[in-house]
Amino acid sequence: MVSKRAHTNYLPTVFTIFGITGDLAKRKLIPAIYHLYCHGLLPEEIHFVGVGRRDLSLGDYGEMIKQSVTYAEGKVDADKLASFAALFSYVEGDIKSPKAYADIGQEIAKRDKDCGHGHQTVFYLAVAPQMFIRIIEHLKEASLTGPCYELGIKGKIVIEKPFGHSVESARQLSEAVMTYADEEQIYRMDHYLGKETVQNILLFRFTNPVINDSWNPEAIDHIQITASEDIGVEDRAGYYDSSGALRDMIQSHCLALATLVMMDEPMSLNSADIHRRKVEMLQTFSLDSNPAESAVRAQYDGYRAIETVAEHSVTETFAAMQLKSSHPRWKDVPIFIRTGKRMAQKETNIAIHFAPCKSDICKAVGIRTEPNVLNIRVQPMEGIGLLLYAKKPGFSIETEQVYMNFTYQTEFTDEQPSPYERLIHDVIIGDQSLFPTTEEVMEQWRIVQPVLDAWSDQALPMHSYAPGEDGPQAAHDLIGQWHDSTWTAGVGKQMNSDAQ
């Protein structure tokens, strides 16, 4: 991991976490913050204020912090863990009550007085989305998000997806948030964007001439994005049944990946330049035709038997789409996206399918080759692989598929930060590059809304698939209409086994 000395813009910080006793805070946030602490990647002057409804003594609260770390890390240094836990204080209160915010204000004021100067403030909303507006409103009314005049910086507010449930709800959420905060104060947390491979996409494209020069419609036939899981909805059934695969994965994660793969080169790696290019690319995306022809939904067998799922649920656990782009570079290159639960394997993969070989040598000697495929593996075994052809050893002229494979785990021996570590660190230093803007979120909802509308009236079929299968046949038919293409399931799996 990068050492603290690599950064110069650390500011004294009070970092407040709403929902500190919840699963997200205990399983993700606290362990991520501990890692940053151990690697010297936190400001020297930082204090964490946890907010929750539980009646906890200071001792019980400190023990909860320690247990969150040890559960994630196993055995840790006791002295270091104790020093880390001492950075946390606790405010018991109802987040609907103004008193809780007065107590938070007192904690911040105490830190300012003890240190003799002001702090930047961060408010992480690790709570249900329906609480976002109420909390932000209370923060504003309690004057907690206003600027720290000594540092010249306003309070930062971190919210977790989902950012709305439809175009209209996303618009209402955005307008309500902007009533109480500016765009520069809002950090929308999408942990996918904190993964190393996702961060590498732009640099991989634009710093390697052999790749950059091939990133065009003459060389690329089509693009596939797969985000599959081999598990079901598990303990998320209550939430998932009101959301579904399209909202849960495609609207946010998958479209964010497509944007990074296809956006124009930004003027710089400055946050504003990157977001400008992202919005420009998203504005070119649309469904290839109507939802009946360009989208598929399905439900895995047994989903409706889950206890907290509605008996006649019409929530999709699988979704696939074919998109097109009006961008001059990409107008003839289709984008296929699919995601699902209880599929054959867990894999998030971007597959760039290049155009077929046109070599006269292949034709002359009767060698048949399939198009090259570049796989950008987001998970598992983050890395990049390229499917090529090479001459098979021996006296005959035969070719065989080979994989050129790079993985972070084998190439870089240094410990890699988790997505939450990277994103929390970026919040602290004020880098918004990896956080979707309001414009991006609204464009993502615009793209999927026609499908949501078409599926809501139940006129289009709900396909089914057996757990452990590679999705429904209708999804294979969808991609098969393009040059008899097939989903690249198995390529990533082969590369993963090679790396191991």
> Which residues are marked as active site?
253
Residue 223 in contact with residue 261, Cβ under 8 Å?
A: yes
94 is in an annotated binding site: yes
53 is in an annotated binding site: yes
161 is in an annotated binding site: yes
* Distance separating alpha carbons of residues 119 and 12, to the nearest angstrom: 5
Class of residue 362 by CB neighbours under 10 A (exposed 0-12, middle 13-18, buried 19+):
middle
360 is in an annotated binding site: no
229 is in an annotated binding site: yes
Residue 13 in contact with residue 428, Cβ under 8 Å?
A: yes
* Distance separating alpha carbons of residues 155 and 148, to the nearest angstrom: 8
182 is in an annotated binding site: no
Which residues does 312 contact at the CB level (< 8 Å), separation at least 6? 304
191 is in an annotated binding site: yes
Which residues does 262 contact at the CB level (< 8 Å), separation at least 6? 223, 281, 325, 327, 329, 330, 335
Structure tokens at 461: 């079929």
Amino acid at 132: F
440 is in an annotated binding site: no
Strand order in the sheet with 120-125: 88-92, 46-52, 13-18, 120-125, 156-160, 186-189
247 is in an annotated binding site: no
Class of residue 387 by CB neighbours under 10 A (exposed 0-12, middle 13-18, buried 19+):
buried
In the annotated binding site for NADP(+), the residues are: 53, 94-95, 161
In the annotated binding site, the residues are: 53, 94-95, 161, 191, 195, 229, 248, 341, 346
In the annotated binding site for substrate, the residues are: 191, 195, 229, 248, 341, 346
